[in-house]
Structure 1
Amino acid sequence: MSVCYSKEVPNTGSETETPTHRFHTTADRIIDRAAPDVTTIYQALLHGQKVRPEFNILGKRDVIGTVSEDKEVQHKVDGKMETVVKKWSYFKLSEYKWMNYDQAVDFTKMLGAGLVSLGMKKDSRVLIYAPTSREWQLCAMGAFSQSMQIVTAYDTLGESGLLHAMNQAKVETAFLKADQMPILARIMGDIETVKNVVYYRDVYGMPKGCEEAIEMVKTKFSSVHTMEEVVEMGRANPLELNIADPQEIAMVMYTSGSTGKPKGVLICHQGVMAVAGGIHEFIAPYIEYGKDVILSYLPLSHVLAFFVDMYCMYSGIGIGYGTPRTLTDESVRECKGDIKELRPMIMMGVPQVWNTIRAGMLKQVDKSGWLVRKLFYNAVELKNGLRHYNLPHNFLDGIVFKKTKEATGGRLKFVITGGAPVNKNVQRLMNAALCPMIHGYGLTEASGLVSVQLPDDPTFNNVGAPCPSIEMKLVDVPEAKYFARNGQGEVWVRGPSIFKGYLDNEELTKETITEDGWLKTGDIGEWTPQGQLSIIDRKKNLVKMVTGEYIALESLEATYKNSLFIQNICVFADSRMSQPCAIVNIDGAQIAHIADEAGVSYNNNHPQEIATNPDFVRAVLSDLQRVAKRNNLTKQETLTAIVVDAELWSPENDLLTPAMKLKRSDIRDHNKDALEAMYAHMGLE
């Protein structure tokens, strides 16, 4: 193919560095703003209001009730299996209710003025500890309307992480959903600087214990108000906007922290708006502004969801908020799930979301007759082949892929995946059966986006060209045998979107950013012949085997996720081993079904007992080894032993980060005994 996605900057590069690359249409410049007069986040909202004041920009659904259903669950009691009836609750939701630009600007101006009434001022910090929602975004914009900074904390961060963020960032106001009040009540004795607490609640109400927690919080903080009360304070005491300068800090965004305490990343206003301008440079031809909508449900405290929301707010893409719990029709009652209700044109997801969708899709296909299966798989190959050569291919949608498209509302133009590498086979299936999947790569330290594919890019195994807001080069990593002369090396990026440093950690900041402004990402990349970036390793996850050769844990995990048996996998290796081993995660709710598919007999055992059944473990390992062979892995990359964990890994049980990345040390500790037994079986001390 003749398409070139990035260009080399003349007179750059050396023996240890590749030439610097920039996006192909902006090779002579780097985008540093969304528009000439849009260099701060609140200006993005004002820009949207100026262009289309009555466009519905922020949508939400109210919880109007719950529906309870009885379900029979098998439990082992005194050595015998018994059937227990449990009540399961499902939400009943309203249709989407929208706030247009005029209403959003009015609300956030009044909220900002209300925060000033509480004693906040320029550069005061507001911590947002809440799930993704319209209220989350309104709070952020309200703070920005008066040059305050926000501090982001995942709603699954946990008590110690939340306390660390509050105290390190010297937060003055904490904003949270009422559901989080019990957590605040438990740690309030150790909170050092918070003076005000602002909260919101669902229309339906609050879970048990929240009202009592609010009363407890009032004993510590004299200023405790609902969001609506603060807005009314602002309405009674209106103020002119006080918008920050472009280089001033907009937020302290805490990274999810797969090891150690979360780090506070300092991101300025212009950094976010440079990303927005960079996105606009290449995505505009694929969007109908003032009409298209996106479903936002990933954590807004993660940079991926945040910068996408900011771009949508600037450019005029309606944002409909949903939750992982209510996405599908199966997860709600007496209403449609968020996807079918909103019928979005754009959706985001992390690889685990797409892996789950792929597995569900293929399991349905495999239940069909041989003719349907053959038709489906051949159609996937045919459509991807036609896309590759830019030939007509949409005729297959109505013949083969009609049901899969209808499951997401039937209007998707493309989906975005980020947060970790997505497997090629997942992307191939999504491209064919759903819509184009564009793979992006970003970092909190780069205000979000570093590189991304275009929706009409038919290639795989890459994360596209450098975003127009940065420039990029690859630098030698000699200890792992990655050299610039081979088009490989550590990814370094530079531009106006690079962060201002880590809060209260100058030493780490200097280790991460060079004196001339290059951010050292820690990721290992490779240039494709067409100027795209492929992420092939991470420096921290390169492990030297007993042979002296390195293997890449994350890359292997992405490959092994091709197995339809597993939900997740954490590969382990060290210098004692000639081959790696792994802890495999299989949801306990599905483990008996998977055992049936593998032809393993069992006697209605508890999921954890099936997980330790030697026949079951061998069946899963054999399937993973078949995946290794199909994907041409070497012997030293092929798993030699596994442990099965039947407790689903999630942020809630602290085995995944809120961005759905593995917490290796916690997974290892959680499976310590089984892991040690596996090591002993492998002959390791």
Structure 2
Amino acid sequence: MPLPTTHFPQLDVTTIQPERMHELKTYAKEMVGTAPKDGSSTGIYRNVQSFKELQKDFKNVKTLHDVFQSGLAINPKGPCLGQRPLQYDPVTKTTTAKDYEWQTYEQVAERIKNFGCGLLKVHHDATSSDRHFHLGVYAVNTPEYAIADFAVHAFSLTTVALYDTLGAETSEYILNHSEIPVIITTIDKIEILNGLVAKCPHLKAVILMDGNLNIQTPEVQTSLNLGRQGLLRRGVKLFLFSEVEAMGKAKPRRFTPPQPDHVAAISYTSGTTGTPKGALVLHKNLVAYLRAHYDAGIAARSSDVHISYLPLAHIYERGVLSTVILHGGAVGFFRGDTALLMEDIGVLKPTIFASVPRLLNRVYERIIAGAMAGSAFKQALFNRAVAAKIANLESTGALTHPFWDPLVFGKVKTLLGGRIRVVISGSAPITSGTLKFLKIAFCCPVVEGYGSTESAAGATIAFQGDHDPGHVGPPISCNEVKLVSVPEMKYHATDKPHPRGEIWIRGANIFGGYYKDEEKTREAVTSDGWLKTGDIGFIDAKGRIHIIDRKKNIFKLAQGEYVAPEKIENIYQKNNFVAQIYVHGDSLQAELVAVVVPDAEYAIPLARENGILPENTPNPGPTANNAPPHPLLQKVCESEKMKALLLKEISKTGKELGLKGFEFVKAIHLDAAGFTMENGLITPTFKLKRNEAADRYRPFIDAMYKELNSKAAKPKL
């Protein structure tokens, strides 16, 4: 019997009911006759809902400009963008946040038109040109950010987002590489831009978001005047966002909407080594991804409320915000301070919560800490409630419980406002235990997706009712997947019981290449359109993808930053105290740890000077190649004081040689034996065998993470 369906008349889309999708016997299938005879890859897998033809768009929505027009048509008088106004008290010199205030879709549409027209005038006046240009955005999420983005789409321009946390060097590179003539920013970035404009010849105008800025405060007035004067001295004009809107209202123009193949945004990846790469995200990429949401069971409704706090510079948040706007939902913005995020959530009471494992782990820890801080009776009650709900989830799939929810989990639900109907986790893996707990704690589906900037944020999404652990769901309906054998890592498409290999993706969501970098584009995408993800996975009998490894020695930490451990090891090995080092991290941890083999020539004198070894301990001299460890080195390595000393020393080296914050190791284990061919940790060409090292040092790695996590300060949410 066919599963029941849901129809979305405004978009002319019919899909299986979200809560019933997991009842499909198979989620994705291999297309017969598509596997090569040599076994170098699997055949092509497609979602069973789009097996005959991949989805790519909607009947009347082909671009991001169409996305806003869809929301406007569905809910013209409804709330579109909201924020909490900040009220300044000149007597106490304090600022307080009021309740959310909303602009309707009609009001936002007017502002989009006015700002877009004003933006074109600012660009023309500054450059004497009417050619296509890139608009830079260097700010946290605000209503003005979204208005500017949709204004860019309305006039076939391109947005280039700079992460709010970027340093000056990377910001300078992006500004020059993408040749940005106009940039939108917030007042706290004016000083940074003042320091950059002399090195960025393309930049001619800066637009300051003033929608929630207390212009009347002395501090803001001073910053504004100094910023304006500093920029003007360098030939760059400063405008307020409201001024640009007024300019556009006085000189209106007709929209010049984009085509699906036009570049909507250049999204610079965080990078692993060297300079970041600018991914060309096309309108059709994001629209295909939005269409696939419906076949994954996470389509938005006009009654939905989303809190926008994940960086809009990241394609993940752009996709979520666009999904909500597409169906006329409401988007409320946080105040820009993650320490106040939970307060904003409590006031907004969202229905959709898109997040990342780093924050969801903090929510989990806060719930557990709160429960364990109670009396012994309350702790026992909480543990019993969790056990009962998990057992109920595993046996029936139910996320709610008539007894335990009102007694225990009602208060837990209020952490996210009390109205959440779905939680979406992306950007990095989340542990199955945390995933399961959050489902029963918030009494709603918590779904995990997998993708990248190059796939417009998504490639797979798990179904709501699928509670099996360890997978990220089937391919979404706009793309197909195959696994390509990686023999050097012993992963083969012919492996049993499941094929294994590098995950390749193809579909309308695959990006248009890297800006000004054909070589990197060819490395990432094959001539016939397959994106090589670099991730190793297997496909189970239901067609779900499990991520199990990384092809390159590059991994993503829990907060989403990419790490190239060999680069970090090379830097730390410049320190005289380090003979060998293995840097370890994974996507379930937020920090790096390392195994360090000290150089006896330098480590033993340091130990003697710090009372770890006797004062009469002689200097050992240089260590000969292939020599056994120095007899005293084992004692040195057992010293906690020595660990602290060496961690301080290598951190100093990392700082001197420009490591980023997330690239610093936070704990080390000292090992006297070292990495040798005899113990199987290095190759004949003296390259570290990373998998073998991870296995050998696993107990110490686990111990370091346990200690780091136990020392972590109580999360501020």
TM-score band by shorter chain is 0.7 to 0.9
RMSD, aligned α-carbons: 3.4
Over 3 Å counting, the alpha-carbon distance change for 1:91 and 1:541 in structure 2 is: farther
The answer on whether the counterparts of 2:304 and 2:324 sit within 8 Å (CA) in structure 1 is no
1:213 partner amino acid: G
Q: Which residue of 2 aligns with 1:53?
A: 76
Residue 263 of structure 1 deviates from its aligned partner by 0.9
| Corresponding residue of 1:528 | 540
Once the two structures are superposed, the pairs formed by residues 582-601 of structure 1 within 5 Å of their partners are none
Does structure 1 conserve the Cα–Cα contact (< 8 Å) formed by 2:65 and 2:154?
Answer: yes
Does the Cα contact within 8 Å between 1:327 and 1:339 map onto a contact in 2? no
In the alignment, is residue 406 of structure 1 matched against residue 414 of structure 2? yes
Residue of structure 2 equivalent to 1:594? none
Offset of residue 516 of structure 1: 0.6
Q: Which residue identity is paired with 1:29?
A: E
Match of 1:312 in 2: 324
- Residue 162 of structure 1 aligns to a residue whose secondary structure is helix
Match of 2:367 among 344, 361, 364: 361
- After superposition, what is the alpha-carbon deviation per residue over 1:268-312, rounded to whole angstroms, capped at 9, x for unaligned? 11111111111123336x75x221101110100011101111111
Counterparts of 1:258-297 in structure 2, within 5 Å, are 258-283=272-297, 287=300, 289-297=301-309
CA contact (8 A) 1:127 1:152 kept: yes
Please give the alpha-carbon distance, in whole angstroms, between the structure 2 residues aligned to 1:553 and 1:426: 22
Work out which of the residue numbers 113, 116, 121 in structure 2 matches 1:117.
121
Pairing 1:98–2:98 present: no
- Match 2:257 to one of 236, 243, 257: 243
Could you tell me which amino acid in structure 2 is paired with residue 6 of structure 1? Answer: A
Superposed CA deviations along residues 222-280 of structure 1, whole A, max 9, x for unmatched, are: 53211111111111111111011110111111112243211111111111111111112
Residue in 1 aligned with 2:237? 223
Deviations 1:52-107 (A, max 9, x none): 211211111122248999xxxxxxxxxxxxxxxxxxx9852121111111111111
Matches within 5 A, 1:285-684: 287=300, 289-323=301-335, 325=337, 328=340, 337-394=343-400, 395=402, 396-434=404-442, 435-486=444-495, 487-541=499-553, 555=586, 558=588, 561=589, 568-572=590-594, 655=660, 663-664=662-663, 667-668=664-665, 678-679=669-670, 683=674
Partner secondary structure for residue 416 of structure 2: coil
The secondary structure found in structure 1 opposite 2:292 is: helix
The corresponding residue for 1:146 is 155
1:609 maps to none
Unaligned runs of 5+ in 2: 1-22, 555-564, 567-581, 599-636, 677-717
* Deviation (angstroms), 1:2: 6.6
| 8 Å contact kept, 2:55–2:477 | yes
Match of residue 685 from structure 2 = none
1:616-653: CA deviation from partner (whole Å, max 9, x where unpaired): 999x9xxxxxxxxxxxxxxxxxxxx9999999x9xxx9
Q: Deviations over 1:197-224 (max 9, x none)?
A: 1111333346564531222012223532
Give the Cα–Cα distance (whole angstroms) in 1 for the partners of residues 113 and 168 of structure 2: 31
**Mind listing any 5+ residue stretches in structure 1 that lack a counterpart?**
70-88, 332-336, 545-550, 562-567, 577-611, 621-640, 657-662
Q: Which amino acid aligns with 2:407?
A: I
Counterpart CA distance in 1 for 2:253 and 2:394 is 55
Provide the residue aligned with 1:75 in structure 2. Answer: none
Q: How does 1:28-47 map to 2 (within 5 A)?
A: 28-33=52-57, 35-47=58-70
Distance 1:128 1:324, change over 3 A: closer
CA distance in 2 between partners of 1:301 and 1:13 (Å) = 38
Shift of residue 29, structure 1, vs aligned partner: 1.5
Report the CA distance shift for 1:160/1:31 in structure 2 as closer, same or farther (over 3 A): same
Provide the residue aligned with 1:625 in structure 2: none
Secondary structure of 2:254's counterpart equals coil
Q: Aligned equivalents of 2:313 and 2:146: distance in 1? A: 10
Indicate conservation of the 8 Å contact 1:63/1:94, yes or no: yes
TM-superposed CA distance for 1:392, in Å, is 4.2
Deviation at 1:531?
1.6
Question: Is the 2:72–2:328 Cα contact (8 Å) retained in structure 1?
Answer: no
Deviations 1:138-187 (A, max 9, x none): 11111111111111110111111111111111112111112110000011
Counterpart residue identity of residue 262, structure 2: E
For residues 497 and 272 of structure 1, the distance between their equivalents in structure 2, rounded to whole angstroms, comes to 6
Deviation at 1:679, TM superposition (A): 4.5
User: What does 1:123-162 align with in structure 2 at a 5 Å threshold?
Assistant: 123-162=132-171
Say if 1:370 and 1:449 are closer, same or farther in 2 by CA, change over 3 A: same
The answer as to whether partners of 1:67 and 1:91 remain within 8 angstroms in 2 is no
Q: Report if the CA contact (8 A) 1:121-1:146 is conserved.
A: no
Rg bigger for which structure? 2
Residues 21, 574 of structure 1: alpha-carbon distance in 2 compared, 3 angstrom cutoff: farther
CA distance in 2, matches of 1:479, 1:574: 27
- CA drift of 1:420 comes to 1.0
Amino acid paired to 2:330: G
The Cα of 1:130 is off from its aligned counterpart by 0.7
Give 1:17's aligned residue. 41
Report deviation, 1:554. 5.1
Note if contact 2:500-2:538 (Cα within 8 Å) is conserved in structure 1: yes
Q: How many residues of Structure 1 are paired with residues of Structure 2 in the alignment?
A: 569
Distance in 1 separating the partners of 2:642 and 2:383:
29
- For the Cα contact (< 8 Å) 2:399–2:440, is it kept in 1? no
SS in 1 for 2:230: helix
Find 1:203's aligned residue among 184, 197, 213: 213
Q: Alignment partner of 2:256: what SS?
A: coil
513-522 or 135-144, which moves further after superposition?
A: 135-144
Q: Which amino acid aligns with 1:24?
A: V
Give CA deviations for 1:560-608 in whole Å, capped at 9, x if unaligned: x5xxxxxx331446999xxxxxxxxxxxxxxxxxxxxxxxxxxxxxxxx
Shift of 1:374: 3.5
Contact 1:197 1:221 in 2 (8 A): no
TM-score (normalised: structure 1)? 0.76
Within 2, Cα distance between the matches of 1:162 and 1:43?
A: 31
Distance 1:40 1:276 in 2: 11
Percent identity between the two aligned chains: 27
Q: 1:613 to 1:405 in 2, by over 3 A?
A: farther
2 CA distance for matches of 1:415 and 1:645? 40
Q: Structure 1 residues 8, 279: CA separation in 2 closer, same or farther (over 3 Å shift)?
A: same
Q: What is the one-letter code of the residue matched to 2:438? A: M
CA contact (8 A) 1:537 1:552 kept: no
**CA contact under 8 A between 1:182 and 1:210: conserved in structure 2?**
no
Q: Letter of the aligned partner of 1:320 in structure 2? A: G
Q: CA contact under 8 A between 1:380 and 1:428: conserved in structure 2?
A: no
| AA aligned opposite 2:591 | I
SS, match of residue 213 in structure 2: coil
In structure 2, C-alpha distance between the alignment counterparts of 1:191 and 1:19, rounded to whole Å:
48
> Which residue number corresponds to residue 602 of structure 1?
none
Q: Which secondary structure does the structure 2 equivalent of 1:189 belong to?
A: helix
CA, structure 1 residues 554+275, in 2 after alignment: closer, same or farther (shift >3 Å)?
A: farther
Instruction: Provide the secondary structure at the position in 1 that maps to 2:552.
Output: helix
Distance 1:554 1:346, change over 3 A: farther
Task: Give me the whole-angstrom Cα distance separating, in 2, the residues matched to 1:155 and 1:679.
Answer: 37
User: What's the offset of the Cα at 1:552?
Assistant: 11
User: In the superposition, relative to structure 1, how do residues 655 and 417 fare at CA in structure 2: closer, same or farther (>3 Å)?
Assistant: farther
1:298 counterpart letter in structure 2: L
Q: Distance in 1 between matches of 2:522 and 2:145?
A: 32
Residues 642 and 16 (structure 1), Cα distance of their counterparts in 2 relative to 1, 3 Å cut: farther
- Greater alpha carbon shift after TM alignment, 309-318 vs 497-506: 309-318
1:173–1:480 distance in 2 versus 1, CA, 3 Å: same
